[in-house]
Chain A
Amino acid sequence: MNYALNHFPEILQRAGQHAWLAGVPLVLGLLIAVPVGWLARRFPKASPWLVGGSGLLYTIPSLALFILMPLILGTRILDPLNVIVAMTIYTLALLVRTVVDGLSAVPRDTVAAATAMGYSPVRRFLAVDLPLAVPVIAAGLRVAAVSNVAIVSVASLLGIPNLGFFLTDGYQNYDNGEIWTGIVSCLILALVFDLLIQLAERLLTPWQRVVHG
């Protein structure tokens, strides 16, 4: 507790770095997962490859991916971009299946009606399919957010600044207070992400909370 009180500005700064490294990939991953999910729905034969293949990405150990990134991207080892790209891959791995599930959950009658009303395929996807998939996608996004916050701490092993620093540094200094500070800060950050996603979902889906007649 004392550690946390004495290092409050540093905690805030590292939490900001951590949130950036976990949050930006969340947005990027979602932006990529949506069209990939659309492709999987559009071409059912490719679906197992797209969904299964993207899911496999999650099995790559994070430390290995962080170290591989500079080789693939040609970046320096300490470039935060490595973490951003690696975390985007993990987000994508979790979200493609979620997006496909969300789109599959849209009632067939609704899709048929939308088509028959005269929606073009792209317009229908944006106006009908995607909004109706929001509850399922939001659930997947919450899992991805918590996972991102956890995995980003590993990047501190490479010296990329984030909340994971308190864990590595605390471990080296035998400082339990510092380690607990790292753990609790990560928890709180994950919770904040979770609440923000829930809030966004509520704003996007007022129709979910009506009293059924």
Chain B
Amino acid sequence: MIRFEGVTKKYDDSIAVDHLDLEFPDGAITCLVGPSGCGKTTSLRMINRMIELTSGRVTIDGRDIRDQPAAKLRRGIGYVIQHAGLFPHRTVVDNVATVPLLNGWDKRKARARAHEVLELVGLPGNFASRYPAQLSGGQQQRVGVARALAADPPIMLMDEPFSAVDPVVREQLQDEFLKLQGELGKTIVFVTHDIDEAIKLGDQVAVMRVGGRLAQVAQPAALLADPADDFVADFVGRDRGYRALSFADTPSLPLASEPTIELGASVDQARAATSDRWLLVVQDGRPQGWVEPARLTGPIEADSLHRGGTVARVDGPLRASLDAALSSPARRGVLVDHEGRLVGTVRAHEVLTAIEQTDRPRSDDEASGGIRLGKERG
């Protein structure tokens, strides 16, 4: 556990972090989030003494971080930054082997470990001998994560690690990161300016305000349900009622069975299958999209499908079920099982009824209940 006790960082005439008291629980992701100038990166960097605090105390498992030399402390703490900060003059494998080598491992053992970690972050062996300049931004960021993990540190500090890559890659990296964390269970401090990222990744979210003060620390669902003040409410942003549904598991919805047609079927078969305007097309039981039988001119082909509707897992969060209903051209949301096979459809008002019957997370319970580890990611 990392603990901040009255931590303050002053520069000549400004205060970057002001009497911060905060705990980062073991095995959990704590997101530090806030507008620029709120001291979130300064707070992160005080943990591995890249920035020395002015007053107060930071302890790791009860031990003051100033009790050991900075370089030694840092080798026990993984560090990932925005542009990865890879060493351009070293190959991928040697980048990853850096900390094991600093710890005195011999080269062969360090490289073997590096290959292991590269596999873990999804970079196959032929990447190992490349130089960073030969990788895409997303691949570089993966190497950055691998490098931080190589010496298997219990703590990882991550400073906006995914904000310099495009949105599609970012989402992919976030998902992989959560999966990896599910296996590794590191104590992670994650700095971001993006509240959606904080809510998606954090087991605990600490919102900071300009002047380096803590505005609120809570689990994501509680943050959305009950912002502590106007600043947090503003920062958390619009649609928070809708976004909070990401954390509400779908209760058993009244599923309707949906007439379907196989991909490749003829016009006559399609028109015979339903009397409704829209017909769901499946292949091996998996929904592919919608067609309007009346408008068909030939057999149902993949590129004649209307693909606007999203598909939700029947055991996923309510937000996805509602979105499936809202986005479906037939107004019937498609629900599937864990293998992607059609289970049934649900209408928006049915999802809303289910929402009405769900309890909102109560902030007082959450605040005293501590951190729920290994939260389900949907």
Chain A interface (Cβ < 8 Å from any Cβ of B): 107, 109-110, 112-120, 128, 131-132, 205, 207, 210-213
Contacts and interface: CB of A to CB of B under 8 A. Distances in A.
Interface residues of B, number: 32
B79 A117 contact: yes
Given A109-B82, A113-B86, 7 more contacts: A109-B85, A114-B85, A132-B88, A207-B88, A207-B89, A213-B133, A213-B134
19 contacts: A107-B85, A109-B83, A110-B85, A113-B86, A114-B85, A116-B79, A117-B75, A117-B79, A117-B98, A118-B73, A132-B87, A207-B89, A207-B131, A207-B133, A210-B134, A212-B134, A213-B133, A213-B134, A213-B136
A113 B79 contact: yes
A152 B135 CA distance: 47
B238 to A, nearest CB: 33
B90 interface: yes
Given A119-B102, A210-B130, A110 B86 contact: yes
A114 to B, nearest CB: 7
A-B residue pairs, 10 tightest by C-beta: A113-B85, A118-B75, A109-B85, A116-B79, A118-B74, A213-B134, A207-B89, A207-B131, A210-B131, A118-B71
A115 B50 contact: yes
Contacts of A115: 50, 74
A109 B144 CA distance: 12
Contact of A119 (B71, B130, B135): B71
Nearest to A131: B89
B72 A118 contact: yes
A127 to B, nearest CB: 9
B163 to A, nearest CB: 13
A167 B48 CA distance: 63
Contacts of B98: 117
Contacts of B82: 109
Contacts of B157: 116
Contact of A109 (B84, B134, B147): B84
Contact of B81 (A109, A119, A120): A109
Contact of A211 (B85, B86, B90, B134): B134
A119 B87 CA distance: 13
B79 A210 contact: no
Nearest to A211: B134
B99 interface: yes
Given A109-B81, A210-B133, A117 B89 contact: no
Given A113-B86, A119-B71, A132-B88, A213 B99 contact: no
Interface in B225-282: none
Contacts of B130: 210, 213
A207 B86 contact: no
Contacts of A212: 133-134
A92 B175 CA distance: 53
A171 B291 CA distance: 97
Contacts of B79: 113, 116-117
A181 B48 CA distance: 64
B102 A117 contact: yes
A118 B82 CA distance: 18
A205 B87 CA distance: 12
B288 to A, nearest CB: 35
Contact of B135 (A117, A120, A131, A213): A213
B124 to A, nearest CB: 15
Contacts of B87: 110, 113-114, 128, 132
Nearest to A210: B131
Contacts of B83: 109
Interface string B350-365: 0000000000000000
B18 to A, nearest CB: 24
Interface in B145-195: 147, 157
Contacts of B71: 118-120
Contact of A118 (B84, B99, B131, B133): B99
A211 B131 CA distance: 9
A102 to B, nearest CB: 13
A72 to B, nearest CB: 40
A117 B148 CA distance: 8
A70 B357 CA distance: 98
Contacts of A114: 85, 87
A113 B81 CA distance: 7
Contacts of A109: 81-85
A62 B171 CA distance: 64
A44 to B, nearest CB: 16
A118 B71 CA distance: 4
A186 B289 CA distance: 78
A165 B139 CA distance: 60
Contact of A132 (B75, B89, B99): B89
Taking each of A116, A119, A131, A213, which has the highest tally of chain B beta carbons within 10 Å of its own beta carbon?
A116
Nearest to B137: A213
